[in-house]
């Protein structure tokens, strides 16, 4: 067994105390913090935390999905998908990992360590998912559910999935599509004191959403919400396809 790994195991009491969990199988806990770079640089270490990350991603998604479904019975599928996506994205998981100070427990290669990997958002997010996968294997679904809920409870209570859909759509549009959304009124009905506007928002010829409202502003917000829901649903389908492809290997 690698000497560094043996020395690391002496820290497990502190890690368990920090997490508030006592593992039955500590090997699983150690594996949750082994980054690819550590495997590459240390002979005799064969397994990184990637498989646990895959498992933890699914467990985390199920817990958050169930909580959102239970807490917000008035939300439609698009709103639930959007909120879940924002809860479990890389940035969110990275921030929670920092709050937990998981970076201090990572097993990294020398190169990754030197380049700031211990505070890299993607590595921290992956480690948190791997840890959730490890807890699921060691403590079962009940243990994993309680752990996830303890971490995410402060973020689960909101009035709506997003307060400003237009601003968030603009951020997503610029990041993913490198352009700004375009809004247009496609229909305007009713007397002056009781207007109903129908607005379409487009990012590209194939990506669009519709919304209605008693004002242009309200209709634009609803159109942005509709489109964001579609984008997040498509991303979720792509993630599911990727998981299925990974299962085939």
Residues labelled as active-site residues: 57, 129
DSSP 145: H
Q: How far is CA 186 from the centre of its chain?
A: 35
Contact status, residue 164 vs residue 109, Cβ threshold 8 Å: no
Radius of gyration, alpha carbons of the chain: 22
Exposed, middle or buried, 75 (CB in 10 Å: 0-12/13-18/19+)?
Answer: middle
State how far the Cα of 197 lies from the Cα of 184, in Å rounded to an integer: 10
Can you tell me whether residue 104 is helix, strand or coil? Answer: helix
CA separation for the pair 217, 239 (Å, rounded): 33
What residues are paired with 183 via a beta bridge? 201
143 closest CA partner among 13, 2, 29? 29
The label of the residue with tokens 């990294």 reads: 108
């Amino acid at each position: 067994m690698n000497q560094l790994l043996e020395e690391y195991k002496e820290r497990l009491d502190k890690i368990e105390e920090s997490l508030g969990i006592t593992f039955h199988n500590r090997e699983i806990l150690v594996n949750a913090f082994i980054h690819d770079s550590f495997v590459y640089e240390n002979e005799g270490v064969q397994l990184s935390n990637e498989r646990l990350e895959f498992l933890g991603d699914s467990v985390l998604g199920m817990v958050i999905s169930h909580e959102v479904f239970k807490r917000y019975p008035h939300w439609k599928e698009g709103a639930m998908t959007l909120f879940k996506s924002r809860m479990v994205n890389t940035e969110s998981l990275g921030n929670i990992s920092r709050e937990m100070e998981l970076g201090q427990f990572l097993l990294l290669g020398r190169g990754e360590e030197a380049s700031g990997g211990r505070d890299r958002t993607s590595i921290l997010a992956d480690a948190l998912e791997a840890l959730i996968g490890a807890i699921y294997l060691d403590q079962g679904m009940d243990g994993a559910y309680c752990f996830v809920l303890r971490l995410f409870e402060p973020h689960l209570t909101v009035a709506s999935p997003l307060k400003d859909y237009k601003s968030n759509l603009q951020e997503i549009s610029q990041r993913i599509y490198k352009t700004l959304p375009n809004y247009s009124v496609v229909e305007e009905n009713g007397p002056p004191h009781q207007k109903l506007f129908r607005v379409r928002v487009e990012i590209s010829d194939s990506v669009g959403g519709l919304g209605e409202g008693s004002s242009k502003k309200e209709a634009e917000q609803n159109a942005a919400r509709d489109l964001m829901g579609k984008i997040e649903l498509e991303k979720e389908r792509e993630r599911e396809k990727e998981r299925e492809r990974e299962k085939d290997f």
